[in-house]
Amino acid sequence: MAAPEPPPGRGRVRDVFLRLLGVIFLAAFLSLLVQVRLLFGRDGLLPAAAYLDAVRAHGILAVPTLFWLDASDRALVGLGIAGAVLSFGLILNVAPRWCLLALWALYLSFVSVGQDFLSFQWDNLLLEAAFFTLFVTPGGLRPRRAPPPHPIGVFLMLWLVFRMNFESGAAKLLTGDPTWRDLSAMETYYETAPLPTWVGWYAHQLPAWAQRLSAAYTLLVELVLTPLVWGPRRVRRVVFVAMAAMQATILLTANYGFFNYLSVALALFILDDRDLDCLAARLGRPLRPSPPRVPSRVRTVLLAAVAAILVPLSVIPFLPFLGVRAVGPAHRAIDTVRTLNAYHLFAHMTLVRKEVVIEGSADGETWEPYEFRFKPGDPMRPPPFAAPHQPRVDFQLWFLLLGGPPRALYFHRLLERLLTAPAVVAPLFVRDPFPETPPGLLRVAFYRYRFTDVATRRATGAWWSRELLGYSRPLRATDLR
């Protein structure tokens, strides 16, 4: 009797994922590099050095970052460049385990001093993905034909995929948001997404039944299909395609940095090497099989112990959504390293889009707007694509009016820089309406924005309509010190 075939491995899935993770890290670090001085530099909006001075008493255990050694502008740029170089190392399969560990430490260093600008769930997801991937990454300098990852390591990757999707679906219902319960969430989503694209305008025009079907599809994928990531091969293929389609829709209609790319890359672990073999054969590019190897008992025991610790710990951050108070040493430690996280993507749907428009004046009579590159401003300008780049200031400004009048420190400093050091923040804007000398006055206009309908855009060319809600009082530089 012939011996049974070994279960399909994920060696080639792992290899493809590591290259993709390297590309995603490269995009993340390059995105940071083009704005790091503006965000965290000495004259930036939330200087890293000033932040570390304020939390110095808490030390490195509370704020784990290499910037304790040096938080100068040169260090910020230098570590960003180091992250980009190490990303290439991961892409080229040079010491992948060490590259990945270093990338995790570097990105954690930025996130730990990032304050408002690096507080997003996909920043946490990138850190967690890098950490979990260490358990499936081969060692050595150039591991060309490494054996498949241990099944326990694969389980941990699927556990992350499961949590990210299932927790997001559960949070939509557990938070009590009525728009998810009556399936009307997508009727306002495209219009109120932080940084929509012009494709989002078209999606917003779909009839109500299509929007409700889209909301139902989202819940179906996250709550019903996600647990099947451990199912039979054909079922897993369906789950992967469904998840990838959902992420592609999000990617095309709004800008969330590298999030959607990372989500699809992680979902590759739902597949196995046979699926990649089929695809490669159709493309005429057959793949080399990974050499089989029976995992050692020691490795199995160690990975089982790691999984037995990580799996229950990874549930702790989500407990508040279940009504359980999750505060204690374990929760605080998890929160500090941002490597085991709760995921609650789009759990609350915003129904009204309010925007700030900064205006400057030299005489107090004529006011000129500052047009941001990515956030909605001029109603005639189509919402642009930015991903995988994330313009952190444009994105963060979406939150500014969600809790009432704008009181964020970074916004206060943005206004101050416009009046005293406009060159620092000039990259944020399409053009400087005061190229010679800074304006003497600033004011903030508050608007409600809506996508136009098809007839209005056809008649006027406008992508947005907006309603003026009011103005702040005019501000001088002395008012902002």
Instruction: Name the nearest CA neighbour of 374 among 250, 255, 202.
Output: 255
Instruction: Name the nearest CA neighbour of 256 among 195, 189, 339, 347.
Output: 195
Tally Cβ neighbours within 10 Å of residue 209: 9
More confident residue, 39 or 1: 39
d(CA 434, CA 431): 9
pLDDT-derived band at 7 (thresholds 50, 70, 90) equals low
Distances in Å between the alpha carbon of 116 and those of 39, 47, 119, 392, 456?
Answer: 10, 12, 6, 9, 37
Distances in Å between the alpha carbon of 226 and those of 229, 235, 310?
Answer: 6, 11, 20
Instruction: Name the nearest CA neighbour of 7 among 294, 308, 299, 278.
Output: 294
Q: Is the pLDDT of residue 250 over 70?
A: yes
Q: What is the pLDDT of residue 404?
A: 63
CA angle 195, 196, 197 (to 5 degrees): 125
Instruction: Say if CB 236 and CB 228 are below 8 A apart.
Output: yes
d(CA 173, CA 192): 20
Instruction: Name the nearest CA neighbour of 195 among 473, 390, 370.
Output: 390
Q: Which amino acid is at 80?
A: G
DSSP 8-state class, residue 114: -
Residues 388-426: tens digit of each pLDDT: 999 999 999 999 998 766 678 999 999 999 999 999 999
Interval 303-312 mean pLDDT: 95
% of the chain with per-residue pLDDT over 70: 94
Least confident residue range of 115-124, 154-163, 332-341: 332-341
Residues 186-241: tens digit of each pLDDT: 999 999 999 999 999 999 999 999 999 999 999 999 999 999 999 999 999 999 99
Residues 44-96: tens digit of each pLDDT: 999 999 999 999 999 898 999 999 999 999 999 999 999 999 999 999 999 99
pLDDT-derived band at 4 (thresholds 50, 70, 90) equals very low
Which residue(s) pair with 364 in the sheet?
none
Distances in Å between the alpha carbon of 340 and those of 132, 150, 381, 410?
Answer: 10, 21, 40, 28
pTM reported for the whole predicted model: 0.95
Residues 334-375: tens digit of each pLDDT: 778 889 999 999 999 999 999 999 999 999 999 999 999 999
